Structure 1
Amino acid sequence: MPPKEETQSLTQDLLRGAHSPDSANRIFSDKIQHRPLFLKPSSPPPTTARDARRRARDEKKKRTKALKPKPLSARERRRRQFYHIPKEGQKYSVFAPLHKLWVGYMREILGTELYNGGQGAAAKLSAADFHGAEVEVSRSRCPSRVGVRGIVIKDSRFVFEIITAQNQVKTLPKEGTMFRVHVPAPDAAPDHRPFCCEIHGDQFQHRSSDRANKKFKNHFLKKL
């Protein structure tokens, strides 16, 4: 460390280079000489600082985790009966508005393919959500299910849960079943026939959220 006299001389030389001699002497005596120099406490060692930062990050993660609720498990959702429809709500008229919304949704995503069909319509149907769709069992390995028709109130991985016009909730397995779906033409085009298609339940054994990103491939299907 240089001596105090050398430091003062260097400071005065720097001030004289920017100010007149009288101004340099005045600034040095008023603002620099005999003025206390406040120093902050010395920094902690690198390892201590690193540990402090790590503890701060861990505390922040804990606070964030405490504020964000943990998602419920499937068992907890079943215990709380999230997917249970109460007896007073098992009415066809309750879900009729949902079916109207689904019809508008299908008209929007199909567009012009609502009238001519094709592979484009098939791809859109395979990725669509069928909650609110009115489906009818056209073919099934179980003959007693043929002709059952209703609005889909739950589209799970392996079954369609529907409610019929007789206010009955029925569970229809997708395996070994074909479903017929109708999408009526809009009121502005009364001359067009309703869009009708059949979906293979064997290829629909996925949740509606999983079907959106799934690429379907051609498979051999046994006769029903």
Structure 2
Amino acid sequence: MDKKQKQKEQGIAQVLLARAHSPDEANRIYTEKIQQRPLFLAPSSPPPADARERRRRERQKKKDLRKKALKPKPLSAKQRRKLGVYEVPKQGQKYATFEPLHNLWVGYIREILGNEIYTGGEGSAAKLSSADFHGAEVEVVRSGCVSRVGIKGIVIKDSKFAFEIITRKNQLKLVPKEGTIFRVELPAPTPEKAADQDQDQEMKDVATEVKDVEEEPPKMVFEIHGDQFMYRSSDRATKKFKAHFLRKL
């Protein structure tokens, strides 16, 4: 009985220390590290001097709480799907609407590749892997689902697992990346045109009239393996792709 009463008087900290250490060592640890340990308090502002100042602080506090309550919270993924934030409306599902986006993408990808648009190689492959494909014109050349082969159009949404493509017939197609190979044809500017950019417009018109048959401009053709491309465009921009053997090929 005396032992239990003594434990109550000592406190839980001393009882636990006594179980692990000798009595002298337990008393020393309790005195140095617990009993004499300073308690740090966060500094607080002094109380208001008068009632007027107290009322002013209360009004300011209510005003700050109201501002915080009025601040809109970001939508969750479920709410965004329910509201259809990222869905293209029916009246906007037209190929002609996204042709300017495709022209912008062609200029963007030409600027990224530079002279590698003519030579290709590992350098261009790394740049294309981290590029954004919103606005690219792609064609499905191989797929686990045969009905998807031949779909061709402009990419209007490059998500993690699928491409949303608008075709020339104004049809919106959702094509999964898994098990699909996409072909991209990028028109490359001819070296002659690049060298003649500083010439007068009249000289270009004369050179065009002399040619009886117009040659088809050169194109850089590459294929995207969807199985290795299942990343968002923002994630691909910071990811390092390494060349390795693929058993499926």
Above 0.5 in TM-score? yes
2:125 aligned partner: 122
1:199 aligned partner: 224
**Structure 2: distance between partners of 1:203 and 1:212:** 14
2:108 aligned partner: 105
Report the CA distance shift for 1:223/1:193 in structure 2 as closer, same or farther (over 3 A). same
Report the CA distance shift for 1:112/1:87 in structure 2 as closer, same or farther (over 3 A). same
**Structure 1: distance between partners of 2:66 and 2:246:** 53
Q: 1:128 deviation in Å?
A: 0.5
Q: Secondary structure at the match of 1:166?
A: coil
> TM-score, length-normalised on structure 1?
0.68
1:63-92 Cα deviation digits (max 9, x unpaired) = 996686533221121122111111111110
Q: 1:52 deviation in Å?
A: 3.1
Q: 1:139 deviation in Å?
A: 1.4
Give % identity.
Answer: 65
Q: Say whether residues 1:148 and 2:173 are aligned partners.
A: no
Contact 2:102 2:154 in 1 (8 A): yes
Q: 1:137 deviation in Å?
A: 0.9
Contact 1:138 1:146 in 2 (8 A): yes
Matched AA of 2:45: A
Contact 1:114 1:121 in 2 (8 A): yes
Choose which of 92, 95, 114 in structure 2 pairs with 1:92: 95
1:77 aligned partner: 80
> TM-score, length-normalised on structure 2?
0.62
**Structure 2: distance between partners of 1:107 and 1:67:** 46
Contact 2:189 2:218 in 1 (8 A): no
Specify every segment of 5 or more residues in structure 2 that has no aligned partner in the other structure, as ranges.
Answer: 1-39, 47-60, 195-214
Contact 1:115 1:192 in 2 (8 A): no
**Structure 1: distance between partners of 2:74 and 2:116:** 39
Query: For the aligned residues, what is the CA RMSD?
Result: 2.8
Contact 1:175 1:201 in 2 (8 A): yes
**Structure 2: distance between partners of 1:65 and 1:116:** 57
**Structure 1: distance between partners of 2:74 and 2:112:** 31
Q: 1:51 deviation in Å?
A: 2.5
Q: Say whether residues 1:52 and 2:45 are aligned partners.
A: yes
2:206 aligned partner: none
> Which structure has the greater CA radius of gyration?
1
1:15-60 Cα deviation digits (max 9, x unpaired) = xxxxxxxxxxxxxxxxxxxxxxxxxxxxxxx95x71239xxxxx8x
| Residues matched between the structures, number | 173
Q: Secondary structure at the match of 1:51?
A: coil
